[in-house]
Amino acid sequence: MDDKVKEIARNKKAYHDYLIEDKYEAGMELTGTEIKSIRRGKVQFKDAYISFVSGEAYIKGMHIAEYKEGNRFNHDEERDRRLLLHKNEILKMYSKCKMQGYTVIPLRLYLKHGLAKLEIALAKGKTLYDKRQSDKVKTMQREIEKAMRY
């Protein structure tokens, strides 16, 4: 990562629940109090997902806490926020979601050169068997690394 990138939040559960296919970097359309709250790290996207409405991508379910000093100009914490992506990226993701059963989820939120960026991924849900298999591989890797140390 570049030294100008500061990670704010990460969706740890995404790698456990989904098989990640493609990753994209998206900007977000934010208000003033939202970016101030993001800079303080008051963000959660545990149940967040990306939906497509009339050719535009929106993130739904992302919680940005109220900015304490925001008074009457504060934002709605759970509002839908428009993502800034190229049109061909939106069309590609939308077509895969409609035809092939993919979903688009947020992976992490970070500040890059002072701007809030969201890393999103085109993903397919894992079955219980896949989750067990990936846990098994992870455990074996840990044991191998532990044996290599001694």
pLDDT tens per residue across span 13-72: 888 888 888 999 999 998 888 888 888 888 888 888 899 999 899 999 888 888 877 777
pTM for the model: 0.78
Closest alpha carbon to 27 in 94, 105, 119: 119
Quote the mean pLDDT of the chain. 87
Backbone angle region of 113, left / alpha / beta, with phi > 0 → left and psi within -120 to 50 → alpha: left
pLDDT tens per residue across span 61-120: 888 888 877 777 777 778 889 999 999 999 999 988 888 888 999 999 999 988 999 999
Q: Is the per-residue pLDDT at 1 higher than 70? A: no
**CATH classification of the domain holding 13:** 2.40.280.10
Structure tokens, 75: 């934002």
**pLDDT confidence band for 2 (50 / 70 / 90):** low
Number of independent structural domains in the chain: 1
Q: Is the per-residue pLDDT at 134 higher than 80? A: yes
